[in-house]
A = this chain, B = another copy of it.
Amino acid sequence: MNREAWRAEAEATTVTRQEESDMAKFMDVHSGFVGVTASQLREAHERDLAIESAEGVHFERAWLDPDSGKVFCLSSGPSKEAVLRVHEKAGHPTAEIYELPIEVE
């Protein structure tokens, strides 16, 4: 690799890292989904996935407790506001969201 190609790749790598560091992880919580089925949750989740890229958001997973009606959505994105805008545009708004800078497994 010549010097210019090396420099171009180094700059590209720097940009990628910068973009990654601008992404945070979030958990948002919805209430009132009592009795919702797996296919209904999938349909709602797919409405998020269809429009999330416009906000730089990605919804990774969602879990539902149909007895209590709670839904937990794990996402990554640039801000709480961006995540909530996707949910609002997809037709299932919530105001309850937490940024999660710390994760263990």
Residue of B nearest to A100 (CB): B63
Choose one: B65, B67, B99, B104; the contact of A62 (CB below 8 Å): B104
- Which of A4-12, A15-23, A37-45, A85-93 forms part of the interface with chain B? A37-45
Cross-chain contact B102 with A41 (CB below 8 angstroms): yes
Cβ–Cβ contact B64 & A100, under 8 A? yes
Verify B66–A104 contact, CB threshold 8 A: no
> Using an 8 Å CB-CB cutoff, how does the interface string of A44-72 with B read, 1 for contact, 0 for none?
01000000000000001111111110101
Task: Please name all residues of chain B whose beta carbon is closer than 8 Å to the beta carbon of A38 when the two chains form the complex.
Answer: 102, 104
Q: Which residues of A contact B (CB under 8 A)?
A: 25, 27, 36-38, 41-42, 45, 60-68, 70, 72, 74, 98-105
